[in-house]
Structure 1
Amino acid sequence: MASNARKLIPSDPEKVMVIRSVTPDIKTFSTPFLRFGRIAIGGRGTAVRLQSGNTAVFSPVALTPTVKEEMRALGPAKYLVALDAEHHIFLEEWHKAYPDAKVVGPETLPGLRDKQGYGKIAQDKWVLLKAKDADAKKLTVDAEFDADFDLEYVHGHGNKEVVVNHRKSGTLIEADLLFNLPATEQMSKSGLSPTGGLLTRLFVWLNNPRGEALSQRRLIWYGIAQDKKSFNPAVARIASWNFDRIIPCHGDVIETGGKKIFEKVMEWHIQAARKST
């Protein structure tokens, strides 16, 4: 782990992590996280057991003793997925524990990790998702992974988002594409308020999907979607998937009604994609 990344994580993740079985095949590992050391947005890793009995882990968090026990019960990690250019801090730790696992992420991630001082992961372990394949609708990890998940690479997003849908449970798993703040569950063991402080309250206002969600819509349209030509059709493809639940990395899990919320927040992009076809 890069030295500067240590400042971003709790000193004792074991004490403050909330572990929950969302379905018999899905576990979430929710932790406190302060963006810039001040803004409470939380963090979350998600593990999903595949039909094969192996497990895919998305945005891995600290591999604590309890997390290891939960993984033994769920199944061996076959895929370690960095859902974007930010959610990769613990990849090296997990890959040491599961050296045969494939490491999935955006094509820009290995170079970014090198610049930030993270330990190297062998080149033959990477499955890198490429913009050209996303645009051509030819994204794939392998047959085992593809059998369980819809997959999209939103490279028009500033953080290069990887988004999946677990088809069996209708669960969308994503990192920074959509927030559902405040991070109530994630901050619940930290002793810190998920809405305390001016900066956190401002961030919650900007990044929640309630009501018309105009603040989050505008933030994404005018700021986050850096390349709408690729962003819009990617989001429209995600909206075509069959899902009801959303597990975000930041904020509470949306247990039901997730597709309607996604369509609401991304409405302008979906409409723009339809007009361009």
Structure 2
Amino acid sequence: MWTADGPPVSVAGFLYPTRMILIRLSDGTLFVWSPVALSVDLAARVDALGPVRHIVAPNSLHHMFVGEWQAAYPEARSYAALGLREKRRDLRWDEDLGDAPAAAWANDIDQVVMRGNRITTEVVFFHRASRTVIFADLIQHFESGWFTGWRALVARLDLLTAPRPTVPRKFRATFRDRTAARRAVGQILDWPAEAVLAAHAAPIPHGGRAAIAHAFGWLLD
């Protein structure tokens, strides 16, 4: 497993860092989660790891650079979270992501769909070999100073700069089906997680299950 950080992107006036995760599957091909901007240097580094065969958009917000990767790797299949196929009709989508892992990575990766949120439906992945759970937007944490001025105040209110990584307040407030969300978190906590990787938080190398339980404590209590 590897991570690669791309340049920040502006979303609703806020700068967000970008991060993708690459996993070499047991057949030697690469699973590319939430691709970032594709530079010549990054493409060379990726190509040295193996052939890109799976481009994965884990929710309806992480799609900005999928087209670049589809153009660079036409043999790769693209996988869309719920709602993304309709949102990005300009892109080619080969499969929709569900609760069952695709056959291509079923030997290496588990997944669960976090349904019932008005902002986005997110697919959470678990890489068995490294015991790592992968979140896109449902767990976030920014260091103090990343946001400034009025944006820092909004970020604090949204729990983006809470002492520990957690679910932003906007996502907490927009779960219309908490029963379904609670069920999905229960499945995630059943995984023997050691580490957590997220697009917008520092890696958590140890104590991953406890970190997830803390982040979703508001939902589980």
TM (norm. structure 1) is 0.71
- 1:202, CA displacement in angstroms? 3.2
Give yes or no for the alignment of 1:127 onto 2:91.
no
Q: Write out the 4+ residue segments of structure 1 that deviate beyond 3 Å after TM superposition.
A: 216-221
Q: 1:162 aligns with which of 110, 123, 145?
A: 123
- 1:58, CA displacement in angstroms? 0.7
Mind listing any 5+ residue stretches in structure 1 that lack a counterpart? 1-24, 185-192, 272-277
> How many Å separate the matches in 1 of 2:53 and 2:83?
22
Q: Which residue of 1 aligns with 2:133?
A: 172
User: Which one-letter code corresponds to 1:245 in the other structure?
Assistant: A
Could you say what secondary structure the match of 2:88 adopts? helix
> How many Å separate the matches in 2 of 1:159 and 1:36?
15
* Paired residue total: 219
- Say if 2:6 and 2:17, in contact at 8 Å, map to a contact too: yes
- Deviation string, structure 1 residues 249-274 (Cα, Å, up to 9, x no partner): 11322222222111011124335xxx
Give yes or no for the alignment of 1:258 onto 2:211.
no
Mind listing any 5+ residue stretches in structure 2 that lack a counterpart? none
TM (norm. structure 2) is 0.88
- 1:198, CA displacement in angstroms? 2.6
- Deviation string, structure 1 residues 81-129 (Cα, Å, up to 9, x no partner): 1010010111111111111212112232111113xxxx231xxx52102
Structure 2 CA distance for partners of 1:198 and 1:167, relative to 1, 3 Å: same
> How many Å separate the matches in 1 of 2:213 and 2:40?
38
Structure 2 CA distance for partners of 1:41 and 1:254, relative to 1, 3 Å: farther
Aligned ranges for residues 13-162 of structure 1 at < 5 Å?
A: 25-37=1-13, 39-114=14-89, 119-121=90-92, 125-130=93-98, 134=99, 139-142=100-103, 144-157=104-117, 158-162=119-123
> How many Å separate the matches in 1 of 2:153 and 2:218?
25
- Say if 2:59 and 2:82, in contact at 8 Å, map to a contact too: no
Could you say what secondary structure the match of 1:111 adopts? helix
Structure 2 CA distance for partners of 1:270 and 1:126, relative to 1, 3 Å: farther
- 1:197, CA displacement in angstroms? 2.4
User: Which one-letter code corresponds to 1:238 in the other structure?
Assistant: I
Please provide the CA RMSD for this pair. Answer: 2.3
When structure 1 is superposed on structure 2, of 58-67 and 104-113 the one drifting more is: 104-113
- Of Structure 1 and Structure 2, which has the larger fraction of its residues in helix? 1
When structure 1 is superposed on structure 2, of 104-113 and 145-154 the one drifting more is: 104-113
User: Which one-letter code corresponds to 2:95 in the other structure?
Assistant: V
- 1:41, CA displacement in angstroms? 3.0
Structure 2 CA distance for partners of 1:195 and 1:108, relative to 1, 3 Å: closer
Identical counterparts, % of pairs: 26
User: Which one-letter code corresponds to 1:76 in the other structure?
Assistant: P
- With a CA cutoff of 8 Å and minimum separation of 6, indicate the structure with the bigger relative contact order: 1
- Of Structure 1 and Structure 2, which has the larger fraction of its residues in strand? 2
